[in-house]
Each structure stands twice: as structure tokens, then as C-alpha cells.
């Protein structure tokens, strides 16, 4: 019988998977990454409509912890990320909001490139046992990772299973518009964040942000509106979005549009552990933004901790 490959398999090339691969390489461990889509970034996503470019998942990230900041500074020195703005409101609150260059996928792409790993794009893993490895880092949203583990007959022990099943996610509907002209009523940095608005959560003018040369606006409906309108047809969602966009920024003339329903926009509650570990040959480490801390930085930290747990187990 042959031994499983010593390379660690990482499922997902979003920020958590890219961070895990990067940390594994820093620790001298080899990994290979499997990504269902044809590009890295996951929910740090980009899109193109005709000549217009969009960030359509996460719009920015903050750096609160030392480890993430250290990596972001290195990525900035290579031109993969830059400070977008120091606040969306006037006057700005002074905290740096970072963006990817040319778009939000760039940070995951940079981490993977620095790690020097092979990334198998367009490869959706449907059975973990086929990965032929002794260690796996799982980074899709918790319900997706859990279903994958269960379908592979590698279910976590009951105590972990119960906790994983309790993780719920907020939804976000994103509507993208390429426009005839740049919208007038948007601040010069291009971002408008709405904290308690019943209809919209965010408007991003991708041209003002520096992502698009052509006029291109991303609209995130609020979590409440996204839940209420989830099953509406796309044309109703675009009508809803354009009505509220006009109310916020003034007249606009849309050329093209796209609707993206993010079923797993973010966890309602975050598990306090940095990652969950179970099994033996393969040992499975489940990580991502539902662990330890949410959003881009939480996902980065969880991926990093997953790599460190694996290093402890294999040393
Ligand atoms: C609309 C929206 C707005 C957001 N805004 C912000 C924001 O402004 N700031 C912020 O900090 N955070 C924001 N977030 C949250 C942030 O995007 C996430 O916390 C973070 O990107 C999650 O990273 P992750 O690596 O844990 O998961 P993901 O990015 O989801 O990565 C998981 C990867 O696994 C892949 N995958 C799934 N199943 C399989 C499989 N079977 N085989 C192989 N690959 C698979 C997926 O394609 C994906 O690339 C936002 C999220 C959304 C959706």
C-alpha cells in the first residue's frame, strides 16, 4: 500500500485558504490548494461587465492585529494592496480601509504566489478521501465544509458537529451596474456605508475607488432587505437597487447589470476557537471567517492558525 502524499491539501483559495498555504510555507511545509472557481479570492470577489470592473463581495478590509498588518505591509510593498480611505463619513474616523490592487482578489493571489504553491483551479473537491493526503485544511463557509466532510464519511465528533450546525449566516444581495456616466453624488473616495439603513448596506463607485476605468457601481442590499427579497427575480432586484441608488446619489443611467446572491455573506455569530480539528489520516482542520473573528482579517487569522495547528500535529 502507498503512503498518502506528505503535501497538505487546502480546500479553498479565499483569504483563509491562501493564508493557510502562506503560513505552511513559512513553516517549511508543502501544500497544494484546490479551488472550485477559476480564480482566487472567494468572497473577496471581482467581476467585469463589458468594460466596467467591479469588486462585488468584500469591499475593503481593516488591519487590527500585528500579524495581519505585517503581511498586509509586505503585500503593499509589492503593490498588491493599498489604503483605500481613512473613513467613509465626513469627517473620516482615521482608520485605514484597505483594498486590493487591481481588485479585492489581489491579496489572496499575492499570498498564494508568495507561498509558491500549486493551485488547482476549477477543481471542486467532492470527496476529501480522494485528496490522498494525511492533513486537510477546509476553508469554505461552515455549512459547505461540513457537508463536504459528511459526504466524505469524515464527519466531526458529535460535540463539534453540534457547534458547527449552530453557525448561521447573513445573506447579501449584490447588484452591479455599469453606467453611462460617473454618478454625481458619491464622495471622492467612492464608498458609502449605511449602518442602519433598511434597504442598502454599501454603495461602491468602482471608478472613484480605482478599480474600474468605466463607470461601475456595486450596491449591497442590507441583510434584512437581502433576506426579504432573496427569491425575487433578478429584474425586480435591479429595479429595487436602482431606485435606492438614485435616492442616494442622484440620477444615473444604467447600461448593463448583474445580480449576485451571497448566501454566506458573514456568520451571525463567530465560534471562539481559531479552528476545529478532528480525525486522523487525514487530520482535518476547519477554518475560515466563522472562527475566532469575522471578516477578512478573521478569515486570514483562522487560516494562519489552521496551518500552525497542522505544523504542531505533523512535527
Ligand atoms: C457581499 C459581501 C460583502 C463583504 N464585505 C466585507 C468587507 O467590506 N470587509 C470585510 O472584512 N469582509 C467583508 N465580507 C466578508 C469577507 O468577504 C469574508 O469574511 C472572507 O472573504 C471569507 O474568506 P474565507 O477564505 O473564509 O472564505 P471564502 O472567501 O468563501 O473562501 C472559500 C473558498 O472555497 C472555495 N470552495 C468552496 N467549496 C469548495 C470545494 N468543494 N472545493 C474547492 N473549493 C471550494 C470557494 O470557491 C472559495 O473560493 C463580505 C462578504 C460578502 C459576501
161 pLDDT more than 70: yes
Q: Which of 58, 55, 75, 79 is nearest to 67 (CA)?
A: 75
> Average pLDDT, stretch 34-58?
97
Residue 2 has pLDDT above 60, yes or no: no
Candidate of 16, 31, 42, 276 to mutate for ligand 1, largest count of ligand atoms within 8 Å of Cβ: 42
Residue 157 alpha carbon to ligand 1 centre in Å? 25
Confidence of residue 5 (pLDDT cuts 50, 70, 90): low
Give the mean pLDDT of 151-160. Answer: 97
111-133-45-221 Cα dihedral, nearest 10 degrees:
-130
Contacts with 147 (C-beta within 8 Å, 6 or more apart), sequence order = none
Residue pair 223/170 in contact by the 8 Å Cβ criterion: yes
- Check if the beta carbon of residue 46 is closer than 8 Å to that of residue 104: yes
Decide: residue 88, CB within 10 A, 0-12 exposed, 13-18 middle, 19+ buried.
Answer: buried
Of residues 128, 115, 114, 57, the one with CA closest to residue 281: 128
Ligand 1 atom nearest the C-alpha of 16 is 25
Tell me phi and psi for residue 149, to 5 degrees. -65, -45
User: Cα(267) to centroid of ligand 1, in Å?
Assistant: 11
Give residue ranges with CB within 6 A of ligand 1.
Answer: 11-17, 34-37, 42-44, 57-61, 124-125, 139-141, 144, 148, 172, 174, 220, 262, 265-266, 288-289, 295-296, 299
What the chain holds in terms of domains, given with CATH numbers, is 8-44+105-167+269-314 (3.50.50.60), 169-267 (3.90.660.10)
Contact by Cβ (8 Å): 8, 74: no
> Which 3 state secondary structure label does DSSP give 176?
strand
- pLDDT mean over 39-51: 97
Q: Which atom of ligand 1 is nearest to the CA of 302?
A: 26
What sign for the dihedral angle of Cα 43, 65, 139, 77? positive
Q: Convert the pLDDT of each residue in 225-273 to its tens digit.
A: 999 999 999 999 999 999 999 999 999 999 999 999 999 999 999 999 9
Q: Structure pTM? A: 0.97
> What pLDDT sits at residue 1?
46
pLDDT digits (tens, 9 = 90+) for 169-227: 999 999 999 999 999 999 999 999 999 999 999 999 999 999 999 999 999 999 999 99
Percent of the chain whose predicted confidence (pLDDT) is above 90: 94
Is the confidence at residue 304, as pLDDT, over 90?
Answer: yes
Amino acid at each position: 500500500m502507498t503512503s498518502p502524499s506528505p503535501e497538505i491539501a487546502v480546500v479553498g483559495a479565499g483569504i483563509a485558504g491562501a493564508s493557510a498555504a502562506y503560513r505552511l510555507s513559512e513553516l517549511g511545509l508543502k501544500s497544494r490548494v484546490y479551488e472550485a472557481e477559476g480564480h482566487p479570492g472567494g468572497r473577496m470577489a471581482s467581476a467585469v461587465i463589458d468594460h466596467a470592473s467591479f469588486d462585488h463581495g468584500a469591499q475593503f478590509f481593516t488591519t487590527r492585529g500585528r500579524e495581519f498588518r505585517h503581511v498586509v505591509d509586505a503585500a503593499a510593498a509589492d503593490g498588491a494592496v493599498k489604503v483605500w480611505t481613512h473613513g467613509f463619513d465626513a469627517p473620516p474616523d482615521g482608520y485605514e480601509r484597505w483594498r486590493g490592487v487591481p481588485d479585492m482578489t489581489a491579496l489572496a493571489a499575492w499570498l498564494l504566489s508568495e507561498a509558491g504553491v500549486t493551485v488547482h483551479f476549477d477543481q471542486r473537491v467532492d470527496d476529501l478521501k480522494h485528496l490522498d493526503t494525511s492533513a486537510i485544511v477546509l476553508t469554505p463557509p461552515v455549512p459547505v465544509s461540513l457537508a463536504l466532510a459528511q459526504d466524505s464519511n469524515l464527519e466531526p465528533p458529535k460535540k463539534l458537529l453540534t457547534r458547527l450546525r449552530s453557525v448561521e449566516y447573513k445573506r447579501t444581495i449584490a447588484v452591479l451596474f455599469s453606467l453611462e456616466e460617473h454618478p454625481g453624488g458619491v464622495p471622492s473616495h467612492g464608498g458609502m456605508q449605511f449602518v442602519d439603513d433598511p434597504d442598502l448596506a454599501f454603495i461602491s463607485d468602482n471608478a472613484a475607488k480605482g478599480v474600474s476605468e468605466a463607470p461601475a457601481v456595486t450596491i449591497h442590499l442590507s441583510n434584512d432587505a437581502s433576506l426579504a427579497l432573496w427569491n425575487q427575480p433578478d429584474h425586480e432586484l435591479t429595479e429595487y437597487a436602482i431606485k435606492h441608488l438614485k435616492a442616494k446619489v442622484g440620477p444615473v443611467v444604467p447600461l448593463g447589470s448583474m445580480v449576485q446572491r451571497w448566501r454566506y455573506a458573514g456568520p451571525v455569530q463567530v465560534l471562539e476557537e481559531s479552528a476545529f480539528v478532528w480525525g486522523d489520516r487525514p487530520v482535518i482542520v476547519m477554518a475560515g471567517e466563522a472562527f475566532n473573528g469575522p471578516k477578512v482579517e478573521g478569515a486570514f487569522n483562522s487560516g494562519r492558525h489552521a496551518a500552525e495547528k497542522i505544523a504542531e500535529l505533523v512535527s
